[in-house]
Amino acid sequence: MSKEYYVYIMTNKSRTLYTGVTNNLMRRVHEHKNHLVKGFTSKYNIQYLVYYESTTSVYAALQREKQIKGWLRAKKIALIESLNPEWKDLSEEWFEK
């Protein structure tokens, strides 16, 4: 069985963007939502998963993360809105309230 790797974009109420890569999207989003990782996402209260894509290649995932991080904000917003025009939290249903 091949492993899955995810490139994802999360945001907060003021739409600060954070791009990351992981091999377990649900765990990683839980860590961000609960401030279990010190740093940027805790500081800026990054809570909402607004975009993700998956691949079976860790190399491809890291390349894609690097590519997206190099983009201007407008291009990142266009990417998010191409699949999630309302900026819904895609992980909303994943966790108990």
Examine residue 25 and state whether it is found in any structural domain, yes or no.
yes
Q: How far apart are CA 41 and CA 47, in angstroms?
A: 8
> Cβ neighbours of residue 45 under 8 Å, at least 6 residues apart?
12, 13, 35
Residue 17: give its domain's CATH number.
3.40.1440.10
Examine residue 74 and state whether it is found in any structural domain, yes or no.
yes
Distances (CA, A) of 30 to 59, 71, 73, 91: 24, 26, 25, 9
Q: Which helix (H) or strand (E) holds 50?
A: strand 48-55
Q: How far apart are CA 55 and CA 43, in angstroms?
A: 29
Q: 6-21 pLDDT, tens per residue?
A: 999 999 999 999 999 9
Examine residue 47 and state whether it is found in any structural domain, yes or no.
yes
Domain that holds residue 18: 5-83
Q: 9 with 52: CB under 8 angstroms?
A: yes
Q: 39-79 pLDDT, tens per residue?
A: 999 999 999 999 999 999 999 999 999 999 999 999 999 99
pTM: 0.95
